[in-house]
Structure 1
């Protein structure tokens, strides 16, 4: 895909996410890994709704700015996911409301933040890990992500937001949207003892779609109930 098309796609998806309220103000960032090992990255302090293709940051494989505006300060977390997941070609980081809210709940298991509520939640985002709080731009967040050893394509940063990796930009956007919707469902149904996917249903999804789940046996409730919230 040409450089100009990649730039246009980043701006188009960024605007879509912004217009639907998934990343307000100048929050959130997107990166794409290029064939030469460099990146295209959204600039620091830039609104995702008003990105300029010509001003996107172009970095070399060592993270040096080659052209465009200075990149987002969240480069360390992007770098950590690229380094530990070789298949990753695009990353989306948002400050989406429901995903952030879930990170603040006391019952959350950091190994598997959300129960298996919908098939597409697993198919798009897989299982999601929770990273402890670090201030935005703190290089230590990269160490925390590297500690996951590439097992997760989606993580939630405590009190901050989701970070999702995929093989395409479209895939990363879709997975981030699905993660936000799953978080919203979790909050809507919290304390109501809803039915989640059963272990057998999860196993069927894994077998049918070749899903790689870090904790395939970690399913909430052997009867399909989403236990662990407010029993």
Structure 2
């Protein structure tokens, strides 16, 4: 009888250990449940006020409007005496510079104003403020194996994401608190062997449309921990 009990205990222990392992998709679902418990990102319609602080530059203050159901994006950014406004609505684009729609060619060239840049801003803000929900977008490949890493002295569950060729070539890692599943760090590489790319530390939270978003995002180089700047969500 004792032999059977011992065997059962061993098998039971293995089943518990196996059950404690979490897959990439399961981790992503838990993280989304933490950040967007009511599934509001899919119909997000809101305004973000973001200040970017960078070394040796004055702050850049941006007002960002995102309406996902209407495929509408707007950003108004001011630094020094320059104000740039981009609007993207479905397949249309509009640019305003210092309050003018009739922009001199020299200003267009000097300030790199283009609809391509407008769409880059759209993708940038919707991706970063839509995380981790955006990791369910088509073209995102979630590694089924969850890694356990210590970063800046704290243990994390780490999700690796790559992308289909038509979406992107960078390799991303997302670091989640193992108890709450809050996203606290993310990191990307263009060539991981060269340790290039950047990591971003997320601190504090702002709740917008019942979605928990990072209030502060501090950017650093992977290679030398060089500080790049901080985005602050007002």
Normalised TM-score (structure 1): 0.32
Higher helix share: 1
Structure whose alpha-carbon radius of gyration is higher: 2
Higher strand share: 2
